[in-house]
């Protein structure tokens, strides 16, 4: 109503400043805002600054409110909004909405993870009417390389490996046009100006160097795959080795030449329908593979297997992914079968990233290589995810996930900047900053010099990208982890804070943090079913029940400590664990008498038993470990699975899981479960899981000729049951009568086992526990050192 | 050694009991008898014989041999006391002799301090003293002074401490910080034998092929080496901590990287197999008769030949190179072609698998 009482319609003007925090830079946020503002006919501006994105918007009140709602509702796919704040704005605004220059400090932008090809780009490259028809490096703000090409800060084209490609005018126009989905797409490229793919012979055979032929390089590579050749393919974050997955001879040749004995090969297929010929793919799994992260997803294979056994020897799962880049999409276009897409390396080396390196290292494996001239600045391996208990669990966190930050729980938001250096074998590191945890991509085994160099390069890169200067370094307590040694050396050279965390406490704390468990909440029971970790008392832990919060922990229970005869060698050779377990409580002569005729005992008797005995007697490399992983190894060995040697970490346990008789597992017969007991340790008095009764039952079953799949089911059932029983027993041990904890947090490598995972969930749901939390192993290995965080934040 | 005072002939005492008792450490006749019977008889040299509180060494003689005195000490504890290829006595002489030798010194005189546990058999002591004497003769050194203590329970059977005096020839200057990128790294033979032999004997592990300790005095070999390759930067005996530790120390001190080749690094198949069973890395096993040599590239061939010409260097090999890479880092090119970091261990070998 206007003064004077005259009724007139005057649209109400509203202007506000909108602050958006989160992953909002480098993901097409500004153009999205620009388009919304233009559609709603609003004026103002949008810019990047040190805190994220700042929007100043003015116009009709209803339209401004609509605009605000749409920002929250329809952010670009790769964006993640953490906070939107609004303030009234009284300054002048441009009537035509514009994208303003970035403000100072914008350099400290978050860098997004590499994203798999988006539907729009995927459609373009197969459309003859588009200028990027058949272009292997098409990308836009919604997809394409990010972390893998960034070499420095700030994240713009000049600091990526795209710097050497000058944009053509057509690309430049798209890059400058806010209405275009390639507005400020730093890796923008096309046939005219961008990287090119080339097919080269690695065995000295020349292939044409005619640049026009690059169009056909991908087609030629596909033809080679069809023919049964092994082709090295330069992907997003490293080289792959590919061959026709339906060609058993080619798969076998790849195994031999790559010297990868049994570790499963990842597969790639043009679409999910091809995968469905071999595996079940449920809606969750399909969605995962089709998302921007596009990880390898472990799928349940049909029995009998319809692909060569050599792809995943002894396993019932297949790791599949969809094409992740336009190059892969074009390569697989029209290929009506899956291809092996395994890491481009020999044995356990890190995958090659450079063209020269690939020429040198992969020449003995692949006859040809499909390479390109966009350099890989950072090695980023394929991520690995398994859906368990209805949720995706990240087993290896790399491409598509890193370096996306994870939020920290309440109470930890104020934690000072920290750098957690990670473990050793599957090393990753984690920056704590501004209430977030930034996890690096999976780095690999640090004992490998190339991997260690990559790890250090990544540390420097992340420090720059995230403008991170830690007040303290956090390291694993293990005396010999190279990551921990590097931390100690750094602290010695430049004195600063240093925090050492026990391996399994870190597991529990990372699980709590991942589930946003508040800092000041009461301690939870951490059930860590793991391989090995160094403990405070100089012993080796691995199957632990810890009452823990972020600051501290108390060991409440454990798995029976059994000698690891030969240290790391015992982890490689399951028969050693079997022997140590069997003879922990039973005499050899007693075993031979009571279970005479068992193939297993005859076999062990032929081995260097006397030396193992001497090692145990003399305390030579025979530390005891309370490990759950080693128990798995021992049981697998009893069932003659990987008895001699595991070809990769966790093989015995994975193969034991693979043979489980699912019908027996599903049938709710509790008496099926192998018996365990929970006595108390003679020294500490702590309750521990004693497997002696289980061993007698297993030996009995072997005598009876019980089928191995049924025995595997009985073991999984029994183990799950005793773990649940231990949790219940520990919960009830409070003298005041109340439960000692309300929450159970589960972590550790053994939880990668879906059968065990789901059986323990079922078991724990029944009794009293309110909250059940699980950590995904990939994240755990990385942010690991949350444990220290609480301490640091609280002090 | 023409300086000893004329020795008045005296009758050496004898021990008539089978084992050491506390009385043998009491300072009286029993002690004197023990020293006479076991040590003086075995070591038998004019400087020791007077049993004064000190041995008196002729300065002029020392000065003729070089321009610097080398002076080292080392204690020896080993279980078991007698092992294939040696015993604690041989070890105690070789250890101190070699500590001289790797610095380019010619060792001349040793002391020997003995801490023995009550109950140790006199015959065992005699055997060990005889072994020391034999090794000293082999090395051309004299054990010229000593001390004996008897304890109850405070030591594990027998501890020996030897201290040595030697002389460094003019111009010889071997130091760990002198290695340069491009230098060649050599060893004089098979690695890990001593460590494997001790473990084998300790654990009472019945092996079909017993592995023997390589325990030997190395100053002769090193003298030959230095004569052939006078520019050699540095020699080290990779004792405790093995080759890996020695290389790390050199890399650290010189600020260089070292890369060795797994295939070129000589390790006995039996030792490899034994380590495989025990889950140990032979690169960290102790040696008592081995040296690591860092030589400039133009003298590497001469160094190799000189070592191979010596009985203790027949298995000599070039195992790697000093590089300009990451200072202090030691890597090994593996059989598969990868590069593995060979770190310095904080303590014992521990499983790093998680």
Whole-angstrom distance, CA of residue A773 vs CA of residue A506:
15
Judged by CB atoms closer than 8 Å, whether chains meet at B341 and A448 is answered as: yes
Q: Which residue of A has its CA nearest to B278?
A: A566
Residues from chain B contacting residue A615 (CB–CB below 8 Å): 203, 205, 278
Higher pLDDT, A496 or A728: A728
Judged by CB atoms closer than 8 Å, whether chains meet at B351 and A532 is answered as: yes
Which tokens belong to A598? Answer: 């068992």
**A780 and A753 Cβ atoms separated by less than 8 Å:** no
Q: Which pLDDT score, from 0 to 100, does residue B104 have?
A: 92
Q: Which pLDDT score, from 0 to 100, does residue A304 have?
A: 85
Task: Write the Ramachandran bin of B63: left for phi over 0, alpha for psi from -120 to 50, otherwise beta.
Answer: alpha
- Decide if pLDDT at A501 tops 90: no
- Decide if pLDDT at B350 tops 80: no
Phi, psi (deg, nearest 5) at residue A336: -90, 35
Name the residue among A380, A385, A111 with its Cα closest to residue A236.
Answer: A380
- Residue ranges of the alpha helices (H) in A466-608? 482-493, 503-514, 568-572, 574-585, 588-594, 599-606
**A628 and A543 Cβ atoms separated by less than 8 Å:** yes
Residues from chain A contacting residue B245 (CB–CB below 8 Å): none
Q: Which pLDDT score, from 0 to 100, does residue A405 have?
A: 84
Point out which residues pair with A370 in neighbouring strands.
A199, A233
Higher pLDDT, A241 or B50: A241
Tell me how close the Cα of B158 comes to any Cα of chain A, in angstroms. Answer: 19
Judged by CB atoms closer than 8 Å, whether chains meet at A481 and B206 is answered as: no
Judged by CB atoms closer than 8 Å, whether chains meet at B351 and A568 is answered as: yes
Tell me how close the Cα of A378 comes to any Cα of chain B, in angstroms. Answer: 19
Q: What is the mean pLDDT of chain A?
A: 89
In tens, the pLDDT along A242-287 reads 999 999 999 999 999 999 999 999 999 999 999 999 999 999 999 9
CB pairs A-B closer than 8 Å: 116
Tell me how close the Cα of A196 comes to any Cα of chain B, in angstroms. Answer: 30
Q: Which pLDDT score, from 0 to 100, does residue A4 have?
A: 45
Tell me how close the Cα of B284 comes to any Cα of chain A, in angstroms. Answer: 13
Whole-angstrom distance, CA of residue A582 vs CA of residue A595:
12
Read off the pLDDT of each residue in A350-375 and give the average, rounded to a whole number: 93
Residues from chain B contacting residue A348 (CB–CB below 8 Å): 338
Residues from chain B contacting residue A532 (CB–CB below 8 Å): 351, 353-354
- Decide if pLDDT at A759 tops 70: yes
Higher pLDDT, A394 or A167: A167
Name the residue among A672, A676, A648 with its Cα closest to residue A661.
Answer: A672
Q: Which residue of B has its CA nearest to A448?
A: B340
Higher pLDDT, A50 or A69: A69
Work out the percent of chain A whose per-residue pLDDT is above 90. 61
In tens, the pLDDT along A132-143 reads 999 999 999 999
Judged by CB atoms closer than 8 Å, whether chains meet at B341 and A570 is answered as: no
Hey, how many other C-beta atoms are within 10 angstroms of the C-beta on A41?
12
- Decide if pLDDT at A739 tops 90: no
The SS3 call for residue A218 is helix
Q: What is the ipTM of this complex?
A: 0.86
Q: From the DSSP assignment, how many helices (H) and strands (E) are in chain B? A: 10, 13
pTM: 0.89
Q: What is the mean pLDDT of chain B?
A: 90
In tens, the pLDDT along A585-612 reads 999 999 999 998 999 999 999 998 888 9
- Decide if pLDDT at A499 tops 90: no
Residues from chain B contacting residue A448 (CB–CB below 8 Å): 338-341
In tens, the pLDDT along A333-344 reads 999 999 999 999
Rounded to the nearest 10 degrees, how much is the dihedral formed by the CA atoms of A271, A273, A277, A278?
50
Residues from chain B contacting residue A481 (CB–CB below 8 Å): 352
Helix (H), strand (E) at residue B252: helix B242-254
Sign of CA dihedral B174, B179, B184, B190: positive
Name the pLDDT band for B208 (thresholds 50, 70, 90). Answer: low
Tell me how close the Cα of A542 comes to any Cα of chain B, in angstroms. Answer: 8
Work out the percent of chain A whose per-residue pLDDT is above 70. 91
Judged by CB atoms closer than 8 Å, whether chains meet at A610 and B279 is answered as: no
In tens, the pLDDT along A427-451 reads 889 998 888 888 899 998 999 999 9
Name the pLDDT band for A151 (thresholds 50, 70, 90). Answer: confident
Q: Which pLDDT score, from 0 to 100, does residue A781 have?
A: 39
In tens, the pLDDT along B81-96 reads 999 999 999 999 999 9
Whole-angstrom distance, CA of residue A225 vs CA of residue A244:
6
Angle subtended at Cα B186 by Cα B185 and Cα B189, rounded to the nearest 5 degrees = 155
**A459 and A451 Cβ atoms separated by less than 8 Å:** no
Q: Which pLDDT score, from 0 to 100, does residue A216 have?
A: 83
Read off the pLDDT of each residue in B267-277 and give the average, rounded to a whole number: 93
């Amino acid at each position: 109503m206007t003064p004077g009482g005259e009724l007139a319609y005057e649209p109400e003007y509203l202007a506000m400043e909108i602050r958006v925090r989160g992953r909002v830079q480098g993901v097409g946020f500004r153009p999205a805002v620009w388009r919304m503002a233009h559609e709603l006919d609003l004026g103002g501006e949008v810019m990047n600054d040190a805190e994220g994105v700042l929007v100043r918007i003015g116009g009709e009140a209803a339209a401004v409110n609509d605009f605000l709602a749409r920002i929250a509702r329809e952010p670009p796919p790769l964006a993640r909004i953490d906070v939107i704040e609004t303030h009234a704005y009284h300054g002048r605004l441009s009537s035509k909405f514009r994208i303003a220059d970035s403000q100072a400090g914008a350099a400290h932008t978050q860098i997004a993870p590499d994203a798999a090809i988006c539907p729009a780009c995927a459609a373009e490259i197969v459309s003859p009417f588009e200028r990027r028809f058949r272009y292997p490096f098409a990308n836009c703000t919604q997809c394409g390389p990010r972390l893998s090409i960034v070499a420095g800060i700030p994240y713009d084209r000049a600091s990526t490996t795209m710097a050497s490609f000058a944009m053509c005018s057509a690309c430049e126009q798209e890059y400058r046009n806010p209405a275009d989905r390639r507005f400020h797409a730093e890796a923008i490229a096309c046939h005219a100006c961008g990287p090119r793919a080339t097919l080269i012979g690695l065995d000295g055979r020349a292939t044409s160097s005619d640049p026009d032929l690059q169009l056909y390089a991908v087609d030629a590579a596909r033809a080679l795959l069809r023919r049964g050749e092994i082709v090295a393919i330069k992907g997003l974050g490293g080289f792959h080795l590919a061959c026709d997955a339906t060609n058993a001879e080619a798969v076998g040749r790849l195994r031999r030449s790559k010297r990868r004995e049994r570790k499963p090969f990842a597969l790639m297929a043009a679409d999910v329908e091809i995968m469905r010929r071999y595996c079940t793919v449920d809606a969750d799994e399909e969605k995962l593979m089709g998302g921007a992260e596009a990880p390898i997803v472990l799928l349940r294979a049909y029995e009998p297997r319809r692909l060569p056994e050599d792809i995943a020897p002894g396993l019932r799962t297949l790791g599949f992914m969809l094409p992740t880049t336009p190059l892969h999409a074009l390569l697989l276009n029209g290929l009506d079968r899956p291809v092996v897409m395994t890491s481009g390396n020999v044995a356990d080396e890190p995958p090659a990233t450079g063209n020269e390196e690939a020429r040198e290292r992969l020449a003995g494996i692949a006859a040809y290589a499909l390479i390109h001239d966009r350099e890989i600045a950072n090695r980023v391996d394929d991520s690995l995810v398994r859906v368990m208990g209805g949720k995706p669990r990240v087993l290896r966190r790399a491409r598509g996930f890193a370096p996306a930050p994870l939020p920290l729980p309440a109470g930890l938001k104020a934690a000072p900047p920290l750098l957690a250096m990670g473990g050793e074998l599957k090393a990753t590191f984690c920056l704590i900053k501004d209430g977030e945890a930034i996890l690096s991509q999976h780095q690999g085994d640090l004992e490998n010099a190339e991997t260690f160099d990559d790890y250090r390069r990544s540390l420097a890169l992340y420090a720059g990208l995230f403008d991170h200067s830690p007040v303290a370094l956090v390291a694993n307590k293990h005396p010999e982890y190279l990551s921990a040694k590097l931390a100690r050396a750094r602290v010695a050279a430049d004195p600063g804070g240093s925090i050492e965390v026990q391996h399994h406490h870190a597991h529990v704390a990372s699980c709590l943090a991942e589930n946003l468990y508040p800092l000041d909440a009461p301690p939870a029971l951490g059930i860590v079913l793991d391989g090995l970790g160094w403990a405070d008392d100089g012993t080796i832990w691995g199957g632990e029940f810890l009452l823990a919060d972020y600051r501290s922990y108390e060991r409440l229970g454990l798995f029976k400590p059994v000698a690891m005869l030969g240290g790391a060698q015992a982890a490689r050779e399951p028969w050693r664990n079997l022997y140590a377990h069997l003879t922990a409580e039973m005499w050899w002569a007693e075993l031979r008498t009571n279970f005479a005729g068992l193939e297993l005992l005859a076999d062990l008797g032929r081995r260097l038993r006397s030396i193992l005995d001497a090692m145990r007697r003399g305390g030579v490399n025979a530390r005891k470990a309370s490990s759950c992983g080693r128990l798995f190894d021992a049981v697998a060995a009893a069932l003659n699975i990987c008895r001699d040697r595991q070809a990769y970490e966790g093989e015995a346990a994975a193969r034991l899981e693979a043979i489980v008789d699912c019908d027996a597992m599903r049938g709710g017969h509790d008496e099926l479960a192998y018996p365990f007991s929970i006595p108390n340790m003679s020294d500490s008095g702590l309750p521990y899981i004693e497997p002696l009764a289980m061993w007698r039952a297993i030996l009995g079953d072997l005598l009876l000729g019980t089928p191995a799949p049924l025995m595997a089911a009985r073991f999984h059932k029994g183990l799950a049951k005793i773990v649940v029983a231990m949790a219940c027993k520990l919960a009830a041990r409070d003298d005041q009568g109340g439960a000692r904890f309300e929450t159970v947090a589960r972590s550790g490598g053994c939880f990668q086992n879906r059968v065990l995972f789901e059986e323990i969930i079922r078991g724990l749901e029944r009794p009293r526990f309110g909250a059940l939390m699980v950590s995904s192993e990939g994240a755990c290995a990385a942010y690991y050192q949350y444990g220290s965080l609480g301490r640091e934040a609280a002090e | 050694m023409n300086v000893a005072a004329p020795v008045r002939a005296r009758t050496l005492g004898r021990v008539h009991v089978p084992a050491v008792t506390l009385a043998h450490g009491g300072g009286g006749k029993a002690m004197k008898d023990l020293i006479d019977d076991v040590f003086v008889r075995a070591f038998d040299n004019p400087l020791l014989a007077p049993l004064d509180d000190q041995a008196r060494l002729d300065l002029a003689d020392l000065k003729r041999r070089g321009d610097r005195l080398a002076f080292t000490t080392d204690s020896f504890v080993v279980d078991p006391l007698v092992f294939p290829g040696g015993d604690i006595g041989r070890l105690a002489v070789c250890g101190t002799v070699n500590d001289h030798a790797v610095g380019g010194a010619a060792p001349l005189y040793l002391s020997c301090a003995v801490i023995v546990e009550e109950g140790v058999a006199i015959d065992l002591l005699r055997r060990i003293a005889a072994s020391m004497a034999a090794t000293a003769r082999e090395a051309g050194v004299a054990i010229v002074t000593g001390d004996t203590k008897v304890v109850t329970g405070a030591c594990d059977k027998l501890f020996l401490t030897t201290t040595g005096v030697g002389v460094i020839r003019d111009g010889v200057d071997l130091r760990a910080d002198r290695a340069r990128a491009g230098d060649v790294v050599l060893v004089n033979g098979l690695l890990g034998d001593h460590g494997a032999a001790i473990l084998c004997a300790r654990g009472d592990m019945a092996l079909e092929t017993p592995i023997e300790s390589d325990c030997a005095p190395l100053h002769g070999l090193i003298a030959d080496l230095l004569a052939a390759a006078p520019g050699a930067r540095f020699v080290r005996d990779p004792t405790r901590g093995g080759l890996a530790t020695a290389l790390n120390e050199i890399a650290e001190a010189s600020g260089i990287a070292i890369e060795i080749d797994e295939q070129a690094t000589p390790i006995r198949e039996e030792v490899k197999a034994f380590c495989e069973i025990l889950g140990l890395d032979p690169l960290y096993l102790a040696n008592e008769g081995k040296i690591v040599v860092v030589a400039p590239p133009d003298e590497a061939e001469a160094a190799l030949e000189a070592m191979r010409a010596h009985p203790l260097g027949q298995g000599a090999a070039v195992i790697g190179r000093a590089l300009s890479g990451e200072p202090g880092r030691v890597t090994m090119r593996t059989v598969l072609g990868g590069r593995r970091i060979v770190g310095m261990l904080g303590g014992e070998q521990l499983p790093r698998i998680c």
